[in-house]
Structure 1
């Protein structure tokens, strides 16, 4: 049987035009949990080289697409680009196990400067070709998995060796291949971001030197046995944060940044903690297989006996430096013993470095009533002896990888009912700008008295936006539909496709061309062929869409979704059904109905997060009004202003009235006073207006002197605001900051906010105006540092020393600890935009007039143990995005 299978696969794969080899091996010793028969494990290699110039493209900083470049700048070319690479005809079966993968580049120009690249895949079943539409690379949905690459110098034109080869991309590709809609022969696209420059050959520059994708994978032939009930899905997650694989020494002290992991003896027997985040496995899924794959860092052959348990919790929190932070955690009842073979070769990542099956450990965790897709799992390794594995700090591409195979728990009527109460959220479109038609020529019709779904002289694209949806993040969507009402009768054949907008919080529609079709769409879609609509005013089952739960689920599962956000649906197709719109009949406008089960949190409330807007240097003109409109659209609950508000004592009341009229009279805005608040404004007005705003709200509790030395708390966020550098003695402010942070509430997020900067903490022409003591005090206390003053946006990497700008991590996901933090300048509030005059490798993001900057806001949503940030400009473009994990 296995020889026949091997021959068939060899024949099929050898027909491909691209280089591809297959090695078929029978491994009947492998018995898969929950299967009734043995399996032949076949291994294969596929290589695909970009063969069309449209498949390797550069997206410039202004969002335009360059499709025919003779080379590929990775990634700086006058500005920081986003690179798109698309490989077609990937003949790998759905659910195959990706064991190794990389992209091979060829040097087009030599370069030696420091370069940092993040590599994602497009989160899509079948990546579409790139085109010249605005932001056609960056607007694509990305995989949760990503791989960081810091390429060594490229010193020789035409070189195509290990230095031009990416790290292992298997985790990224696995996420795509494991999608339900993946089919052999589909296409995969990669999205590359970062800083610095390496220049590679493109397809247009050299067909033989174009990027080449190589994938090694395995797949099973079950030998005729019965398949398991339900579809087996695969979830893989490699540790990408150096704070998620840690060593607890025998004395209980924590080692958080080791370049390797001694399992377990290192002068004494340690306890090892491994944390895998954002696992998209549903509650009570049936786990059929699970293991951790390690990679050898040092060879060793002595007798080693290990035991692996999980942390018994719904979602494992980050590790901290507190004593015995691994061993003190409550562990699962289930455990697995492992006596690993000798590790004889550095870099090896095979069966000898793979744990036994951890199914029972993982099953115990995902079967908890509070487990939800997107939660985190921590594993704890104890024992005796020594095997030394790579850690995330040692090699991001070789860090521990968790592999889980599972079957979603489909309810066939015989199981237990879901935990939690089924709730219903209904929202009817109430604003005529929220149900719109995009004509076939791309122009927008925002005030139609009805909605033609979809033909009206040409096939339209319909956009419908539902606002203020009170559905918690990662709620379980049981049912969802849109109820339309007939405006005109019609019976012709009609076929519609419904997608959601793939965003955390859908913004309002505008008159810009193709403002519906240009939006990023969910992977999930639903087809609808509605029956005839025979009676005007009818709103029954014929006018009701099929179940849209898959679409809504994809949106509310996004980390940045919070209760109160907005959701947009996009409808395309052929034929015609004419429904009432909000402009035609407010009582018959489209109605969204969502049935869901909210998250159980043991009585502590759903962690919807608190969203804060960070701005500075505003003025009172039309630019500031656009910034306020953006804050309102993004539904921030608090605005932190890093100084310099009205710039004119005659305009202080204007500033206050603009805030009140846009954000509401009781919407809090906290100011850390800047030099213009003292020099050009009437500071008494700044203080009095601000104090009055605080008195009108119960969202925020504050104490101290408003705008000068003040501490505030909103939910689990504690903010220390100071006018250091702008007024008063520096030492007085330094003492205030230190004392305030030392008295911060336990486990709360900590933020330091002031106006001015140090020279190396901004990218313009400012000097040393604050002193390093304040910066270092905030870093030592694990506080995020928010400033303004320089009229630009810039953000550092994670720093372990502010005065020397020592970079601790260049990842877009960073752990904030007492000793490591991030600083940013958000000074594009409306008064002006300046050029970049300075730089440095400690900057993760720079956005100035040199990069074509527009005014904008940094938004941060703070959850219990993580915070999601994005900088958005007034044109709706996302300029920067990063995640902070609370490590204290």
Structure 2
């Protein structure tokens, strides 16, 4: 092989190596292990649990950082049993809870109802809730708590002995109206007439009232708050709604499947979860067929779900992204534990920004932060988002990469190493040749001396003979 061909082969391999070095991507494994963004936390949402062992089993379906209980802790008016037998005494999760109708004067004696209320309050202010900041009304029936970057508001419209609807609406507006947290939640025990699945046909708007009262649901929706309720012992998730008083499905909800929920100021989702461990109800009537239901779970036509109690478990700031959450509704006593799963995105402008762009933007921010922390420099300002379908851009990108500073440095370093190696080989061969020549000369001298000695001996022998 000629020296010219050898150099061409070496140049080719150096070029490939340099381009591969330039194009080496940060792996998903590296990104996943890199902590960036907001602290991810898990919130369990459970309602109508009672105090049977099934309530404990539901809580064991998943680990979580905080528990939001939607009311009805015990169905026998025992105000202590849930807090001693079900709620872990040595828990490492936070607790927030709402009073349900079975915890209040309508079902229990006043003294027992007061004990329920005080037990909830005391658990919310004890040292295990040290990272939760709560404000309570003087009655303790209403509260607003901040945990990490989430504000949760607990209300009790329709509960016997609680504040009036007017007072509760004022409290809601005071605490939610100027809230700046990334995530906002409105929670209560009862529901309005369009947001249950028909077990009780006689109820109207228990939360907002039937006398043309302002809709609590719509106020929460206008501020981008997720809504949680219970009392109906089913699981039911609406589609994203842009109006609740007279139900209107958000126009952007039509553009995604059931696994995507995009909320904003003016559009949100309502999730009813009353399957926490005490009886699962049937669904019936017109409520069963409402078109705004996205996913429903009830007792079943053949009672197949009668013992499959469940809870909703959501991870907020999913993967560090403070605009994303991931939720699963899980059940006990079922071969398929997960009945419903979906992502929630805070998308202020779904007309212009898709939820996939929210993911992509966060990933790009994370990559940029990873590069800075690991001292990885971009290639002379070349964009990471090269249009692979643009031939001109591809050619430009190829030559830009080929003649970038880092490639030139790599190429120069490898060439220098090659020259040193080649020089070493040449020197080695030259030294070897010189040594061989010297060895040949030495052998020739030895032969000459030997021949001279032989000639002298022959001459000497002839002389003496």
Q: TM-score, normalised by structure 2?
A: 0.60
Does 2:161 match 1:714?
no
Larger helix percent: 2
Report the Cα offset of residue 660 of structure 1. 3.6
CA distance in 2, matches of 1:884, 1:725: 29
Any conservation in 2 of the 1:665–1:693 contact (CA below 8 Å)?
no
Any conservation in 2 of the 1:648–1:680 contact (CA below 8 Å)?
no
Report the Cα offset of residue 686 of structure 1. 1.9
Report the Cα offset of residue 884 of structure 1. 1.2
CA distance in 1, matches of 2:222, 2:294: 21
- Aligned partner of 1:792 among 226, 230, 234: 234
Change in 2 beyond 3 A, CA 1:285/1:231: closer
Partner of 1:669: helix, strand, or coil? strand
Report the Cα offset of residue 761 of structure 1. 0.6
Deviations 1:778-810 (A, max 9, x none): 011110000000000000111101122211104
CA distance in 2, matches of 1:701, 1:759: 33
2:269 aligns with: 822
Change in 2 beyond 3 A, CA 1:803/1:231: farther
Any conservation in 1 of the 2:313–2:327 contact (CA below 8 Å)?
yes
CA distance in 2, matches of 1:230, 1:786: 56
Partner of 1:849: helix, strand, or coil? coil
2:117 aligns with: 687
Any conservation in 2 of the 1:666–1:696 contact (CA below 8 Å)?
no
Does 2:98 match 1:672?
yes
Does 2:65 match 1:637?
yes
Larger strand percent: 1
CA distance in 2, matches of 1:802, 1:791: 21
CA distance in 1, matches of 2:220, 2:207: 13
Partner of 1:735: helix, strand, or coil? helix
2:310 aligns with: 856
Does 2:25 match 1:408?
yes
Change in 2 beyond 3 A, CA 1:736/1:598: same
2:367 aligns with: none
CA distance in 2, matches of 1:709, 1:833: 27
Change in 2 beyond 3 A, CA 1:813/1:677: same
In the comparison of the two structures, how many residue pairs are matched? Answer: 302
Partner of 1:760: helix, strand, or coil? coil
CA distance in 1, matches of 2:192, 2:264: 22
Q: What CA RMSD, in Å, does the superposition of the two structures yield over aligned residues?
A: 2.8
Any conservation in 1 of the 2:59–2:311 contact (CA below 8 Å)?
no
CA distance in 2, matches of 1:790, 1:616: 9
- For 1:168-567, what aligned pairs fall within 5 Å after superposition? 286=23, 407-408=24-25, 476=30, 557=32
1:756 aligns with: 190
Report the Cα offset of residue 696 of structure 1. 2.1
CA distance in 2, matches of 1:285, 1:873: 49
Deviations 1:382-434 (A, max 9, x none): xxxxxxxxxxxxxxxxxxxxxxxxx5359xxxxxxxxxxxxxxxxxxxxxxxx
Deviations 1:514-538 (A, max 9, x none): xxxxxxxxxxxxxxxxxxxxxxxxx
2:459 aligns with: none
Partner of 2:300: helix, strand, or coil? helix
Instruction: Give structure 1 stretches of 5+ with no counterpart.
Output: 1-223, 233-283, 287-406, 411-473, 478-556, 558-596
Report the Cα offset of residue 764 of structure 1. 2.4
CA distance in 2, matches of 1:817, 1:476: 32
Report the Cα offset of residue 226 of structure 1. 11
2:323 aligns with: 865
1:739 aligns with: 174
Partner of 1:689: helix, strand, or coil? helix
- Aligned partner of 2:337 among 830, 853, 877: 877
Change in 2 beyond 3 A, CA 1:231/1:720: farther
Report the Cα offset of residue 229 of structure 1. 5.6
Instruction: Give structure 2 stretches of 5+ with no counterpart.
Output: 1-11, 209-213, 349-465
Change in 2 beyond 3 A, CA 1:719/1:409: closer
1:699 aligns with: 131
Does 2:209 match 1:778?
no
Change in 2 beyond 3 A, CA 1:227/1:874: farther
CA distance in 2, matches of 1:831, 1:625: 11
CA distance in 1, matches of 2:87, 2:275: 20
Deviations 1:51-76 (A, max 9, x none): xxxxxxxxxxxxxxxxxxxxxxxxxx
Any conservation in 1 of the 2:275–2:309 contact (CA below 8 Å)?
yes
Partner of 2:43: helix, strand, or coil? strand
Report the Cα offset of residue 228 of structure 1. 5.8
Report the Cα offset of residue 609 of structure 1. 1.1
CA distance in 2, matches of 1:641, 1:285: 53
Report the Cα offset of residue 839 of structure 1. 2.2
Change in 2 beyond 3 A, CA 1:825/1:231: farther
Any conservation in 1 of the 2:150–2:181 contact (CA below 8 Å)?
no
Change in 2 beyond 3 A, CA 1:730/1:627: same
Deviations 1:441-486 (A, max 9, x none): xxxxxxxxxxxxxxxxxxxxxxxxxxxxxxxxx7728xxxxxxxxx
CA distance in 1, matches of 2:182, 2:73: 28
Larger gyration radius, structure 1 or structure 2 = 2
Change in 2 beyond 3 A, CA 1:615/1:707: farther
CA distance in 1, matches of 2:233, 2:91: 27
CA distance in 1, matches of 2:222, 2:69: 23
- Aligned partner of 1:802 among 244, 249, 265: 244
CA distance in 2, matches of 1:861, 1:625: 20
Report the Cα offset of residue 770 of structure 1. 1.5
Change in 2 beyond 3 A, CA 1:647/1:598: same
Change in 2 beyond 3 A, CA 1:623/1:764: farther
2:34 aligns with: 598
CA distance in 2, matches of 1:803, 1:668: 33
1:352 aligns with: none
Any conservation in 1 of the 2:99–2:117 contact (CA below 8 Å)?
no
- For 1:100-119, what aligned pairs fall within 5 Å after superposition? none
Partner of 1:690: helix, strand, or coil? helix
CA distance in 2, matches of 1:231, 1:857: 52
Partner of 1:850: helix, strand, or coil? coil
Partner of 1:652: helix, strand, or coil? coil
Q: TM-score, normalised by structure 1?
A: 0.32
Any conservation in 2 of the 1:672–1:707 contact (CA below 8 Å)?
no
